[in-house]
C-alpha cells in the first residue's frame, strides 16, 4: 500500500514537473513575442491585435500550468508569523490542514470553471476585437486544467505527508 501511494505521488509530481517545464518554454515564447511586438511598434509603427492577444494567452497558460508546479516546489508565498514558532507536530497539522483546504478550494474552482468553459466551447467563443485570436475558448480551457494540476499537487503532497515524508522537500528530491 505504501509503495503504491509513493508511486502515485511520484507520478503526479512528474506530471506537474512536465507542466512546469512547459511553462519555461511559454515564458521564453512570451518574452520573444513581447520584444518583437515592442520593436515593431516603436521602430516601424506596426502592431497586431492578434499578437497582443497572444501575449496574454501565453501569460494565462503560464499561470494556469505553473500554479501546481510553484506549489510543488514550495515557491508559494506564505506568511510565517506564527508558523516559524510552532514545533514540528504543530507544523505538520498546519501543513495538513492547509493542503486539505487547498484541495477543497481547488476542487470547487475546478467544478465551477467547467460550466464556464463549456459555455465558451459551445459558442466557439472568439475575440471581440477585429483581427483578434479566434480561439478564446482554448485559453479558457486552461482554467480547469490549471486547477486540476493544483488538485493533483494537493493529493500528492497529502500522500507524502501521510507517509511521513515532507511534501515540498520530497518533491524537490
Question: Within a domain: residue 163?
Answer: yes
| Cβ contacts of 14-18, under 8 Å, gap ≥ 24 | 15/149, 15/152, 16/68, 16/69, 16/72, 16/149, 16/152, 16/153, 16/156, 17/69, 17/72
Q: How far is CA 168 from CA 4, 23, 68, in A?
A: 19, 19, 12
Q: Tell me if 159 is assigned to some domain.
A: yes
Tell me whether residue 25 is in a domain: yes
Is position 31 within any domain?
yes
Structural domain contains residue 80: no
Could you tell me if residue 131 is inside a domain? Answer: yes
Distances from the Cα of 8 to the Cα of 23, 32, 69, 80, angstroms: 23, 37, 16, 30
92 close to 162: Cβ distance less than 8 angstroms: no
Its domain, for residue 161, covers 2-75+87-172
DSSP single-letter state for residue 155: H
Q: Indicate the number of domains in the chain.
A: 1
Q: What is the pLDDT of residues 51-68, one digit of tens each?
A: 889 999 999 999 999 999
Which pLDDT tens digit goes with each residue over 81-134?
888 889 989 989 988 999 999 999 999 999 999 999 999 999 989 988 888 888
- Is 81 part of any domain? no
Cell 500522500 sits on residue: 159
CA distance 97 to 135: 39
Radius of gyration of the chain (CA): 20
Q: How confident is the model at residue 173 (pLDDT cuts 50, 70, 90)?
A: very low
Block residue for cell numbers 505521488: 9
Amino acid at each position: 500500500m505504501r509503495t503504491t501511494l509513493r508511486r502515485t505521488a511520484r507520478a503526479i509530481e512528474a506530471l506537474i514537473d512536465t507542466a512546469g517545464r512547459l511553462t519555461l518554454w511559454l515564458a521564453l515564447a512570451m518574452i520573444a513575442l513581447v520584444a518583437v511586438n515592442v520593436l515593431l511598434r516603436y521602430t516601424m509603427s506596426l502592431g497586431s491585435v492578434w499578437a497582443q492577444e497572444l501575449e496574454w494567452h501565453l501569460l494565462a497558460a503560464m499561470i494556469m500550468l505553473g500554479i501546481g508546479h510553484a506549489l510543488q516546489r514550495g515557491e508559494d508565498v506564505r506568511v510565517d508569523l506564527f508558523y516559524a514558532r510552532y514545533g514540528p507536530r504543530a507544523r505538520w497539522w498546519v501543513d495538513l490542514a492547509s493542503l486539505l483546504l487547498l484541495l477543497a478550494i481547488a476542487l470547487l474552482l475546478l467544478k465551477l470553471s467547467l460550466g464556464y468553459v463549456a459555455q465558451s466551447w459551445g459558442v466557439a467563443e472568439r475575440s471581440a476585437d477585429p483581427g483578434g485570436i479566434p480561439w478564446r475558448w482554448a485559453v479558457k480551457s486552461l482554467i480547469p486544467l490549471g486547477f486540476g494540476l493544483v488538485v493533483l499537487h494537493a493529493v500528492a503532497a497529502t500522500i507524502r505527508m501521510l507517509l511521513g515524508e515532507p511534501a515540498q522537500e520530497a518533491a524537490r528530491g
